[in-house]
Structure 1
Amino acid sequence: MASKLLLLYLLSLLKLLIFSDAQSVGVCYGQFGDGLPSEQDVVNLYRRNGITKMRIYAPNAATLRALRGTNIELILDVPNDSLQSLKDPNAATNWVRNNIVNYPNVRFKYIAVGNEVDPNNDSRRFANFVLPAMRNVQRAIRDAGLANQIKVSTATYTGLLSVSYPPRDGAFANNIEWYIKPIIGFLIENNSPMLANIYPYFAYAGNSNIALSYALFTASGTVVNDGDRQYSNLFDAMFDAHYSAQWRLGGWNLEIVVSESGWPSAGNNGASVQNAETYYRNLISHVKQRTGTPARPGRYIETYLFAMFDENWKGGQESEKHFGLFSPNQRPKYQLSF
């Protein structure tokens, strides 16, 4: 009897591991576009396609209602323009109650307190608010009894690095150490991961020395030798540059969740349907394998693709409007398996 119970347990564990592996890729759900489906239709689209991780960029009651009772894990953002208000602990408590506690059947996983806040660009006005808001949201999460379920972090990006090549030399800009080092300390203290938006596309489009095959995971062999580490794709190199930058500031065991990565289908250099499909397919295959990166081998890389739909309201370069995996009519732009 005991042996049968043990066998059943091992089979159940194996199924759990297989399921976790098969569902390791999420998709970001932005809403800055015309003609997008209703929130309920979008959640249904996630479920039909086996996508069990979502990121949304601000609390949205209709989306949260549609997620109730599903198995979709959620990254919920605190928008940058809300950060200052959450310096007030009472405001953070109210935010957590209104947007998390009031939705007990939603599977919140991470709270991203700010997105790509950079003391060196136009978002500098938010930089002083990020860590206090993180602390207050963390306290509110803990007071609600959800600290073991929900992790509080912030979404960084490669623009915060002053050195990204070779990956081993990755480093944050010296003049933002005051900003990022305490955040790293907070994440370690609370056993939370760093969220990082990693885009080989923008590195490729902005640097004529980077081969397209290196950016698309299609290089035939090693492209970059970095001591005892060999890189055949740019995604791993960028990921490890982030890790090296954290390592220099005490974050040697700090996990990284890739909170955005994608490739546009139109708009600028290298942006095409063919290249985008190649990138997404190869990225999904890569992060779902337990290969990790040269600096962090033998592990899965939790990754969120950007984005569910093209968003024609977005500013910046034309390519910013063409990262969608699906058309507004819910037809897939590419043949991908999530």
Structure 2
Amino acid sequence: MFAIATRTKSPMAAATLLFVVAFLCLSLHHAEGQIGVCYGNNGNGLPSQQEVVNLYKTNSIGAMRIYSPDVATLQALQGSGIKTIIDVPRDNLQSLASDQGAANQWVQSNVVPFASAIKYIAVGNEIHPSDQEASSVQPAMQNVLNALNSNNLGAQIKVSTAIDTTLITNSFPPSNGQFSDTSYITPIINFLTSNGSPLLVNVYPYFAYTNNEQAISLEYALFTSPGKVVTDPNNGKDYQNLFDALVDAVYAALARAGAPNTPIVVSESGWPSEGGDAATSDNAGTYYKNLISHVKQGTPLKGQGIETYLFAMFDEDRKQGAATEQHFGLFTPAQQPKYGQLNFT
């Protein structure tokens, strides 16, 4: 990653170079383990965008994910030091895939004025191979990257898409993980590897647990198991929590698809406090606290910190779907923490 000269003029220069390289590597490690928080605003009585950015800063939250290019949020982020994942909404995918001009305009309007605050562009969220928009994801990714390159932003802002773990089959043991539809995912993976982009993955041990409570213990899902729960017979790796097993199943799938070095960014992970089985404030607080401390060390398969975005900043009482969908917030609309003072750094 770093180009290092093979000659130095003095021992002092050599020592200085080694210090710089060590510092850069340490900084990279911390960046990989960074904690961000997703900011959805589908709720009543939520703070203004500027108040939200101030709340991030007050709590030392250095990264955000937003699900549409909300201008007021992007304006409030300017100069904040907070880096952002910005989504291309589902209903924009087909136009951006079919028309380079539309992609150019989208980037010109939503990215260029705010580029200093944007780290990733997620072209679609949890698009499945059977969805009408599936064939548009990779072409839209390419057209968005073309537009970034035309504005000299292609090296600064990485283009990806966010998947969920239902795209992985044979996930137990983790080393058996593979993508269920290679015709959909292969062009996306080829794009990521060609452009040095990570794969964004939404990882929810809560749903894996509630869908299979007979086989999965609550402690395994909440990071509270006292020791190893699963040993992968294929590689001898021990698993003490479900989060690691889910992430490593995606890493295994990437390796099977010919992309063993593609990094993963966990673009969502959370636990609801109401609305379903095991959805309590105690469980949610336990999950978030343990997740924050755990992702710095990485998984058994990849011993490096994982950039992770907690879902979500606020409860969203206007969200449709299961009752749990309204109760993933870390803060109340009055900006009070629901689970005590989490250490986001």
TM-score bracket, normalised by the shorter chain, equals over 0.9
Asked if 1:33 is matched to 2:43, the reply is yes
Unaligned runs of 5+ in 1: none
State the identity %.
Answer: 54
| TM-score between the two structures when normalised by the length of structure 1 | 0.92
Please point out which of 248, 252, 269 is paired with 2:256: 248
Name segments (4+ residues, structure 1) moved above 6 Å: 4-9
Residue matched to 2:8: none
How much has 1:18 moved relative to structure 2?
6.5
Residue matched to 1:210: 216
Residue matched to 2:30: 21
Residue matched to 1:230: 238
Per-residue CA deviation, residues 11-34 of structure 1 (Å, 9 max, x unaligned), is 997599469738810000001111
| TM-score between the two structures when normalised by the length of structure 2 | 0.90
- Partners of 1:67 and 1:31 lie apart in 2 by 15
SS in 2 for 1:35: coil
SS in 2 for 1:288: coil
Please point out which of 52, 68, 88 is paired with 1:58: 68
SS in 2 for 1:109: strand
Per-residue CA deviation, residues 108-135 of structure 1 (Å, 9 max, x unaligned), is 1100000000024xxx011011011000
Unaligned runs of 5+ in 2: 1-10
Residue matched to 2:156: 149
- Partners of 1:11 and 1:270 lie apart in 2 by 47
Are the aligned partners of 2:272 and 2:325 in contact in 1 as well (CA < 8 Å)? yes
SS in 1 for 2:134: helix
Residue matched to 1:261: 269
Distance 1:199 1:15, change over 3 A: same
Residue matched to 1:220: 226
Please point out which of 174, 189, 196 is paired with 2:194: 189
Asked if 1:285 is matched to 2:293, the reply is yes
How much has 1:138 moved relative to structure 2?
0.7
Letter in 2 for 1:21: H
Letter in 2 for 1:114: G
- Partners of 1:6 and 1:247 lie apart in 2 by 37
Please, what is the CA RMSD of the aligned residues?
A: 2.2
Please point out which of 287, 306, 322 is paired with 1:301: 306
Aligned residues: 329
SS in 1 for 2:231: strand
- Partners of 1:198 and 1:148 lie apart in 2 by 27
Distance 1:230 1:13, change over 3 A: closer
- Partners of 2:54 and 2:137 lie apart in 1 by 33
Are the aligned partners of 2:229 and 2:240 in contact in 1 as well (CA < 8 Å)? yes
Residue matched to 1:92: 103
SS in 2 for 1:293: coil
- Partners of 2:195 and 2:127 lie apart in 1 by 21
How much has 1:35 moved relative to structure 2?
0.7
Asked if 1:125 is matched to 2:136, the reply is no
Per-residue CA deviation, residues 272-323 of structure 1 (Å, 9 max, x unaligned), is 100011000000000123xx211112x1111000000001111121111100
Letter in 1 for 2:54: N
How much has 1:103 moved relative to structure 2?
2.1
Distance 1:62 1:16, change over 3 A: farther
SS in 2 for 1:254: coil
- Partners of 1:230 and 1:243 lie apart in 2 by 16
Please point out which of 271, 278, 283 is paired with 2:279: 271
- Partners of 1:143 and 1:210 lie apart in 2 by 49
Per-residue CA deviation, residues 86-124 of structure 1 (Å, 9 max, x unaligned), is 0210000111110111224x321100000000024xxx0
Residue matched to 2:171: 164
Letter in 1 for 2:258: G
Per-residue CA deviation, residues 200-241 of structure 1 (Å, 9 max, x unaligned), is 000011111210000000101110110211100000000011
Are the aligned partners of 2:29 and 2:305 in contact in 1 as well (CA < 8 Å)? no
- Partners of 2:20 and 2:175 lie apart in 1 by 40
SS in 2 for 1:125: coil
Asked if 1:135 is matched to 2:135, the reply is no
